[in-house]
Amino acid sequence: MKKRIIPVALASALLFGAVGAPAALAKPAESASYKLPVKVSDHLVTKMINVNNIYNTIADLSKTPRVAGTESEYKAVQYIKKKFESYGFKTEIQEFKYIGYTPPTNIELSVDGYDGTLAPKPFTFTVNGDVTGELVLAGKGKKDELQNADLTGKIALIQRGEITFAEKVLNAAEKGASGVIIYNNADGDLNGTLGEANDKYVPAVGLTKAEGEALAAKVSADAPVTAHLKVEGAVTGENTSHNVIATKKPTSKKKANNEIIVLGAHHDSVSGAPGANDDASGTAMTLELSRVLKKLPTDTEIRFITFGAEEVGLVGSSHYVENLSEDEKSRIIANFNLDMVGSRDAGDLILMTNDGQPNLVTELAQASSTRLNGAPTPYAQGGRSDHVPFAEAGIPAALFIHNPSEPWYHTPDDSLDKISKEKLQDVAEIVGAAIYDRARIDVQWPKVKHGKKYKTPHLYHEQDIK
């Protein structure tokens, strides 16, 4: 996944402006004692974890990018299936369709009389087009600002903020604009998404704050100013991806409870990136923990899942949750989501929940990390990964990730040589011990309360909607 992980406690900053400094992490849950003894059950898990298995699987998966809907992703699906089967699992491949988007292959932007450098960035789901027209200031692109405007054949220069990028584009298009340029309200590139395909869009690109302000000054001083915007090579269409599911049934039917724990990660990557850390690391760790936990007696069903098409909007995990029966949803007590868990250059391990509140997953993980490392892993608010659909369904869920993320995630440099075996070992032990602590036989636990069901935007990683 991710991303420059930012605790979603910063939701208002993400929605209405630039992201500031990370919010303070939440204090450890009160239930996590700093003096918890290491359990025998922890040793049963940790002694069997082979970090070289994880590392070697990352090496195999990260030989090429695994972009959703491509042959390379499907090859990864088959590889994962064979791995699960080699550990004794009967494996299900869950196919699903989704509307995919391929970014433009070429973007050109020029403004008459402007000699500065412009480096426009596409919005996900922007459309192709080759337009020339007067460049006009359109404020923040709100309906009330454009109420009396006639943008017919013009290119609207709009500032980021207050409403979504999609609304800005649609509002300008409704007034006749042939193209839209949105510039940032803080330093840095504007990397955003329009959220979904829409045939009412016009070509739209993003500029930095400095670039946008320079063009705004040019328009104010020298109007009328003519601009040329060209977007080509973008493709929107139906794609196919897959989830891979391996299930460990309770060891003894007589002692089985009715609960399910889900451990998962996403196996796809972004275009051009080998995705060693994002998220071959989580996929490889899921596979290794499936091997370990398969050998241990449990009274709880454990599902090991690798999800497809995470990088294009959490599509695989959403499909999985949406197709669960109501009985299954009520029985799933925890979702452990592993995303970017092995980079040597990322920060410390953090747990992220969609609402920023502790739940069964954070409490189990904080307890196991305290037993193993002497201190509980902190948690914060954060989405943008495959725990989100589970949380939306009211299922206790948390993301395991190192924060801040490494500077080269989503780049060709997300490669095997950046992976830390020490970090892999640490996370695998914490997660494996936490799951087994809950799933082992003859331990009485209170009934898990599911949270409220709610819906949030499934954002593309490192992309904002406003």
Q: What would the pLDDT profile of 98-138 be if each residue is shown by its tens digit?
A: 988 888 999 999 999 999 999 999 998 999 999 999 999 99
Answer yes or no: is 448 within a domain. no
Same domain, 290 and 409: yes
CA atoms of 373 and 366, how far apart (whole Å): 10
**Helix, strand or coil, per DSSP, at residue 176:** coil
Last residue of a domain, one of 233, 259, 277: 233
Strands, sheet with 129-137, edge to edge from the N-terminal-most edge strand: 106-111, 226-232, 129-137, 155-159, 179-183, 204-207, 121-122
Given this model, what pLDDT does residue 102 score? 84
* Residue among 101, 100, 82, 97 nearest 316 (CA): 97
CA 386 from chain centre, in angstroms, equals 6
Same domain, 229 and 241: no
Query: Distance of CA 289 to CAs 52, 220, 264, 428, 435, Å?
Result: 13, 61, 10, 7, 10
Same domain, 336 and 259: yes
CA atoms of 336 and 87, how far apart (whole Å): 20
CA atoms of 138 and 166, how far apart (whole Å): 15
Same domain, 228 and 257: no
Last residue of a domain, one of 206, 233, 260: 233
CA atoms of 228 and 233, how far apart (whole Å): 17
Same domain, 286 and 387: yes
CB neighbourhood size of 84 (10 A): 24
Burial class (CB in 10 A: 0-12, 13-18, 19+), 412: exposed
Answer yes or no: is 447 within a domain. no
Answer yes or no: is 444 within a domain. no
The CATH number assigned to the domain holding 222 equals 3.50.30.30
CA atoms of 435 and 383, how far apart (whole Å): 21
Same domain, 303 and 203: no
Answer yes or no: is 445 within a domain. no
Given this model, what pLDDT does residue 18 score? 32
Same domain, 330 and 228: no
Is the bond into 279 cis (omega within 30 degrees of 0)?
A: yes
Counting the structural domains of the chain, the total is 2
Answer yes or no: is 386 within a domain. yes
Burial class (CB in 10 A: 0-12, 13-18, 19+), 5: buried
Same domain, 282 and 225: no
Same domain, 285 and 388: yes
* DSSP state at residue 192: B
Phi, psi of 315 (to 5 degrees): -70, -45
- Put simply, whether the predicted model's pTM sits higher than 0.85 gets the answer no
Last residue of a domain, one of 183, 211, 233: 233
Answer yes or no: is 3 within a domain. no
Please provide the DSSP assignment of 100-138 as one string: EEE--SEEEEEETT--S----EEPBT---EEEEEEEEE-
Residue with tokens 């460990």: 248
- Bridge partners for 231 per DSSP: 107, 129
Same domain, 224 and 153: yes
How do beta strands 129-137 and 155-159 pair? parallel
Residues of the chain short of pLDDT 50, as ranges, are 2-24, 27-35, 454-462
How do beta strands 129-137 and 121-122 pair? unpaired
How do beta strands 179-183 and 260-266 pair? unpaired
Same domain, 200 and 288: no
Answer yes or no: is 453 within a domain. no
User: How many Cα atoms within 13 Å fall on the side-chain side of residue 272?
Assistant: 8
Phi, psi of 381 (to 5 degrees): -90, 130
CA atoms of 247 and 454, how far apart (whole Å): 27
Answer yes or no: is 466 within a domain. no
Given this model, what pLDDT does residue 457 score? 43
Residue range(s) defining the domain that contains residue 28: 8-101+237-439
CA atoms of 59 and 63, how far apart (whole Å): 7
Task: Answer yes or no: are the C-beta atoms of 6 and 19 closer than 8 Å.
Answer: yes
* Residue among 3, 96, 87, 20 nearest 53 (CA): 87
Given this model, what pLDDT does residue 101 score? 86
The CATH number assigned to the domain holding 46 equals 3.40.630.10
Same domain, 277 and 176: no
Given this model, what pLDDT does residue 161 score? 92
CA 176 from chain centre, in angstroms, equals 35
First-to-last C-alpha distance (Å) of the chain: 20
